[in-house]
Amino acid sequence: MMTEAITIGELAKRANVATSLLRFYERERILLPIGRTDSGYRLYRPEAERTLRFVRSAQRCGFSLKDIKLILGATGESTKEDANLREITEQRFMDIEQRTTEMLVLRHELELFRDDLTKHLNRPVSEPTGEQFRELIERTCGHKQSLGRPSFTKLFECVGCKLADSESRSLLSEFRGQHVHIWWDDDGYSVLFTEPDARLEQALNRLVQVEADCKAHPGLKVSSDTGDLLLHVSGPNAFIFGQIFLLLEFVKT
C-alpha cells in the first residue's frame, strides 16, 4: 500500500496547493495522511487527490469547513444525514442565485445610466470608452441566460414556485421584449414597466392570480395608481422575478 502512496509534496504539486494547506486540512481532519516516509514526510492514498479537488471546489462554492466535514463524513455523524446535505447544497445554490440577480440588476441599471449619461452630455460616449464600459460590465456581471436553463428550473423547484408548471410559465411569454427598470427595495424587488398598456396590465394581474397561493412568493402586487405600471415582489425569493424580467426584456417576441 505504501508503494502506491504519494508524498505531501507530490499531492500539493498535483493539486496546485501549498503543503501548509494540506497540513491545515489534516488538523481539521478533512484529509488525513495514511503514514509517513522514513524521512518523516506525510503519505497519502492516490485517491486523496480527488478528495482534495472536491474540497477545494466546495470551498470555492462557499461551503464552510463544517459543511465539508459533514459531506465527507469527517464529523463521525451518521450517513443518514442525506436530507441535511441536500438542504445545505440547495441553500448554497439559492444564495449564489440571489447574489447573481443583484449583479444582473446592477448591470442593467448601469447600461441605462450609460444611456442617460449620453443624453445628458448631448453626445455619444466615445467608442473605445463604450467598449471598455461594456467589457467591464461583462467581466463583473456576465451571466448567459435562458428561461429554459436548468438553473431556472431548479430555482422554481427549490422554492416550490407555481411557475414551475409549464402552463403557468407560458404566461411569461406575454412580457417578452418589455423594457423595464428593476431595483431592490427594503423587502424585495420592484419592476417598473416603461411602456404600460392595458394588455400588459392584464397579463400582470393574471400572473398575480397564478401566484396567489404560492408559498414562495406570497407578496406579489401590481400597482398602477400613478399611471406607471409597477410589479413588486417581496420576500426572500423575490430575486427570482428579478432574474426573469431581466431576461424577458431581451427575448425577441
76-105 residue pLDDT tens: 555 556 677 777 777 777 787 777 787 778
**Do residues 46 and 127 share a domain?**
no
Residue type, 90: E
pLDDT of 122 reads: 62
Q: Give the pLDDT mean for 35-52.
A: 92
Q: How many residues does the chain have?
A: 253
Predicted pLDDT at 43: 94
Task: Tell whether 154 is covered by a domain.
Answer: yes
End residue of a domain, out of 45, 77, 109 = 77
Task: Judge if 54 and 96 occupy the same domain.
Answer: no
Same domain, 99 and 223: yes
DSSP code at position 175? G
Same-domain check for residues 42 and 96: no
**Is 104 inside any structural domain?**
yes
- In-domain check, residue 83: no
Q: How far apart are CA 185 and CA 5, in angstroms?
A: 56
Does one domain contain both 148 and 24? no
Is residue 82 situated within a structural domain? no
pLDDT interval class at 141 (50, 70, 90) = very low
- Shared domain check, 136 and 73: no
The answer, as to whether pTM is greater than 0.75, is no
Provide the domain count of the chain: 2
Give the residue from 50, 77, 104 where a domain finishes.
77
One domain for residues 179 and 133: yes
Residue 124: per-residue pLDDT: 57
Name, in order, each residue with C-beta under 8 angstroms of 104's C-beta and a sequence gap of 6 or more: 141, 143, 242, 243, 246
Do 41 and 144 lie in one domain? The reply is no
Lowest mean pLDDT among 1-10, 86-95, 117-126: 117-126
CB 108 within 8 A of CB 182: yes
Q: Which of 77, 106, 141 is the last residue before a domain boundary?
A: 77
CATH at 56: 1.10.1660.10
Residue 151 is assigned to a structural domain of this protein: yes
Instruction: For residues 132 and 34, state if they share a domain.
Output: no
Give one word for 177, left, alpha or beta, with left for phi > 0 and alpha for psi -120 to 50.
left
Domain limits for position 61:
2-77
In a shared domain, residues 99 and 52: no
58 and 95: one domain? no
pLDDT value of position 194: 79
Cα angle: 230, vertex 196, 173; to 5 degrees:
85
Q: Strand 42-44: give its sheet, edge to edge.
A: 6-7, 42-44, 35-36
**126 and 170 together in one domain:** yes
